[in-house]
A and B are shown apart, each in its own frame.
Chain A
């Protein structure tokens, strides 16, 4: 019973850490996505809407922006077309966008796998078939392909749900896009060097200066400043994060009370046995040591069971959880796993030791003879 209680505590704590990690990751990725300090689009485009047909001259704009002082990363994207399809449980209009994986800082943190995207491969949003792909994302044997512009592309990766238009988008490399533009296989004419938008990371105190320099040099551009969006996201996310922390705190307190109740029941049951040790004159320290040793063994075993159960359940149902929670759920790395498992075990043990210590303290206030004789004639 004690072991089961401890296992449950460890299970809840370990799962909480996992979900907290995932929420943190979600926050980071959302901040990454909207966290570009500058988003440069054509002045006739709206940054909050899907890309339109208006493009920018990449061969001039990109080197110019990269050359500006204070600019750290420049990630270009090019909207190619929107395809309408009904197939295999997926239907709708899906924008196809090209990006540069080597420079990207907005999409990579949303990707389920960290494998680099090559030319001829695509990464898809959850609503563009990615929700099904999630179920065999780790399976090397199963491969999915998608035909775009009469060419087969291997589905290499899937994006975690974002709750934005990204979920419906299919992404390919700029290399693949340029090749198709060169071969004139697209249904519309796009210049080879065209780009739809660039995401810029820059030094905080130079953002406005950079934005002004871009619009001065390229009047057809519109610069959107990311800091406001970032603040807005942070203001939405902070309460959520606080609620999660508060819930974890509540779980810890509830489990502490549960643990105290369990140990109180256990020690009350063994009150006479403990009393007998005291009657025999065994020093308090020695008998307390015996009880605490038992607590450590039971708690240790229980917490290992709880952690393994949590890990097994989360690992086995990873894809189901992806689809259900719409969060970029991430299992910790092996090293983090040991660390988090160790912390969970330590917290569980501390709760149990605290609970049993508290009960032992009240027991040892009683006289040994009365502990043994209580309730007897």
Chain B
């Protein structure tokens, strides 16, 4: 469980300070699909970075299972072993194949075993990239690269998966595909936290938060229902 009560400001220069998150008090429960909605520039990505231990809050604390993670080294360890990240732009290694990109986090740590290679293949197949396993990033479309990034985020079997605008600039079909994969992960008993302004994402959510001008408010706790075409939270989401 992640509990956060934070404020985050950035100093641009000597005279200018931007408050990205003015007030955010939230709890990410285990085995939930939390969606943070809000318009661009509302501070949801910054909040996700604070929750994912990528940024330190200016005020307040982030507690992981009741404990504060103090040092950068510890934060990196938590990110590696407990958290997974899916980013708007996956930033794949340009000279490595899809499979090698998925295996890269592991390969950087140790020798990759045959079982792990098989797991990497299975993840790519699961996200619909069976035919693209040996392709280089430049040989894939933006949506496919995004799915490679998703498979890479799942490779280390994270307990909590953070996804920052995973469907930005994707067509509705590909967006639905990405959310479906995230949902599968949630159904396996994992925790998923998504920052998005894509209304489709709310259908999959169990917990919905709304972020406007740096202030977070809780909208609802609902039943995750991907087929809920008339989802009322979706209508008001950005």
Question: B-contacting residues of A (Cβ < 8 Å)?
Answer: 272-273, 275-284, 286-287, 289-290, 367-369, 372-373, 376-377
Contacts and interface: CB of A to CB of B under 8 A. Distances in A.
Interface string B104-125: 1100110000000000000000
B109 A282 contact: yes
A322 B81 CA distance: 65
Interface of B: 40-41, 45, 49, 52, 54-55, 75-81, 83-85, 87-94, 104-105, 108-109, 152-153, 156
Most A C-beta atoms less than 10 A away, residue of B76, B88, B91, B94: B91
B87 A276 contact: yes
B92 A273 contact: yes
Nearest to A377: B40
A280 B105 contact: yes
Contacts of A279: 52, 54, 79, 85, 87
Contacts of A369: 49, 54-55
Contacts, number: 64
A368 B88 contact: no
Contact of A282 (B55, B80, B84): B80
A315 B49 CA distance: 59
Contacts of A277: 104-105, 108
| Pairs A-B, 6 closest by C-beta atoms | A281-B80, A281-B79, A369-B54, A276-B91, A369-B49, A286-B108
A290 B108 contact: yes
A287 B76 CA distance: 13
Contact of A376 (B88, B108, B109): B88
Contacts of A282: 76, 80, 105, 108-109
Contacts of B80: 280-283
18 contacts: A272-B91, A273-B93, A275-B91, A276-B91, A277-B108, A280-B84, A280-B85, A280-B152, A281-B76, A281-B80, A281-B81, A281-B83, A282-B108, A286-B108, A368-B54, A369-B49, A373-B49, A377-B40
B89 A376 contact: yes
Contact of A372 (B91, B92, B104, B153): B91
Contacts of B41: 377
Contacts of A286: 108-109
B76 A372 contact: no
Contacts of A372: 87, 91
Given A277-B104, A373-B45, 13 more contacts: A273-B92, A276-B91, A277-B105, A279-B87, A280-B84, A280-B105, A281-B76, A282-B105, A289-B108, A368-B54, A372-B91, A373-B49, A377-B41
B19 to A, nearest CB: 16
A273 B90 CA distance: 8
B110 to A, nearest CB: 10
Contacts of A284: 76
Contacts of B45: 373
A280 B89 contact: no
Contact of B91 (A273, A289, A377): A273
B156 to A, nearest CB: 8
A244 B97 CA distance: 48
Contacts of A275: 91
Most B C-beta atoms less than 10 A away, residue of A275, A276, A277: A276
Nearest to A368: B54
A273 B89 CA distance: 10
Nearest to B152: A280
Nearest to A372: B87
Contacts of B92: 273
A377 B55 CA distance: 17
Most A C-beta atoms less than 10 A away, residue of B45, B87, B93, B153: B87
B38 to A, nearest CB: 13
B167 to A, nearest CB: 14
Nearest to A272: B91
Nearest to B87: A372
A367 B87 contact: no
Contacts of A373: 45, 49
A283 B55 contact: no
Nearest to A274: B91
A238 to B, nearest CB: 50
Contacts of B108: 277, 282, 286-287, 289-290
Contacts of B40: 377
A85 B85 CA distance: 87
A278 B53 CA distance: 11
B80 to A, nearest CB: 3
A283 B5 CA distance: 28
